[in-house]
């Protein structure tokens, strides 16, 4: 259920910054690259106040399925958010219990003896082409759980920070939503192939297999320094994609062989004339 929602930090007029008006009409792109209107329906929401922050846990649905959007609103009004497939939300809930137990086992904060990178405990979750990094950290202001999400390598990272004291409350609210809507993402049930990587000169190519409610797909990403571009190929056209690619390979090989033969003949011509 990857790509359930595109990143919409720029959406204005939402309930997070102007009352309770939710903006539901957005643009999205299908596998052909054509833009189309996408309508999001909010099925349920929970709001948590943890210290100076507000957190919204929204169960949403669009044409690709259901997912949970977690939005953090800071004291200054800044908003950050991450998206979780339902199965990923269930895994995250379990990690919250583990991190909370670990936090409870720690002694009082010691600002004079902080870890070099501030990290006390870390975990990672992987869902299709998304990676989630969970880091329990400590700084001069206290302890908190940072949740970072990346979409494909080289892509932008979004993150939220949950005060450590609020992890149990956050977990309980997430559990309530999962009990109501379940943890089944749907789609392909088998094991997806592992990701592949290839480097050519100064470029890196990544092949990631994912799925959503429309089926399995391959995302091919090209990464060069800070530049990234990607295409998505639905599974139903992989064979045709391969055949076209193979045809080009055969034609280039024949062209190369023909050029080599012509070059060899040209090298032999002066010798034949001498005879």
Residue 16 clears pLDDT 70, i.e. is over it? no
DSSP 113: G
Look at 165 and 61; give whichever has higher pLDDT: 165
At residue 220, the pLDDT reads 92
pLDDT in tens, 174-213: 999 999 989 877 555 567 788 899 999 888 999 988 876 5
Bridge partner residues of 125 (DSSP): 132
Look at 74 and 166; give whichever has higher pLDDT: 166
Q: How far apart are CA 123 and CA 93, in angstroms?
A: 13
Q: Identify the residue whose tokens are 């309980």.
A: 172
Length of the chain: 275
**Mean pLDDT, rounded, of the chain:** 80
Name the percent of the chain in helix, strand, coil, to the closest 5: 30, 40, 30
Q: How far apart are CA 83 and CA 128, in angstroms?
A: 13
The candidate with the shortest Cα–Cα distance to 177, out of 46, 80, 53, 4, is 46
Kindly give the residue spans of alpha helices, DSSP state H, lying in 85-200: 86-105, 167-181
pLDDT in tens, 111-167: 777 777 788 999 999 987 789 999 999 988 889 999 999 976 666 789 999 999 999
């Amino acid at each position: 259920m990857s790509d359930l929602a595109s990143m919409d930090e720029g959406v204005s007029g939402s309930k997070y910054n102007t009352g309770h008006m939710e903006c539901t009409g957005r643009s999205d792109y299908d596998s052909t690259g054509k833009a189309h209107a996408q309508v999001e329906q909010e099925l349920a929401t929970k709001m948590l106040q943890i210290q100076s922050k507000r957190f919204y846990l929204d169960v949403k649905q669009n044409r690709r399925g259901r997912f949970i959007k977690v939005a953090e609103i800071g004291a200054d009004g800044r908003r950050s958010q991450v998206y979780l497939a339902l199965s990923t939300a269930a895994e995250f809930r379990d990690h919250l219990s583990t991190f909370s137990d670990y936090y409870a086992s720690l002694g009082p904060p010691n600002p004079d003896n902080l870890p070099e990178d501030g990290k006390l405990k870390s975990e990672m979750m992987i869902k299709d082409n998304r990676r989630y990094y969970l880091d329990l950290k400590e700084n001069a202001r206290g302890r908190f759980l940072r949740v970072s999400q990346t979409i494909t390598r080289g892509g932008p990272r979004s993150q939220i920070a949950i005060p450590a004291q609020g992890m149990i409350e956050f977990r309980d609210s997430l559990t309530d939503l999962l009990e109501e809507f379940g943890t089944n993402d749907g789609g392909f049930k088998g094991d997806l192939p592992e990701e592949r990587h290839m480097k050519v000169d100064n470029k890196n190519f990544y092949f990631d297999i994912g799925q959503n409610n429309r089926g399995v797909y391959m995302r091919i990403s090209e990464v060069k320094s800070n530049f990234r571009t990607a295409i998505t190929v639905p599974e139903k056209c992989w064979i045709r994609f391969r055949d076209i690619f193979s045809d080009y390979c055969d034609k280039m090989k024949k062209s190369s062989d023909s050029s080599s033969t012509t070059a060899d003949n040209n090298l032999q011509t002066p010798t034949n004339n001498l005879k």
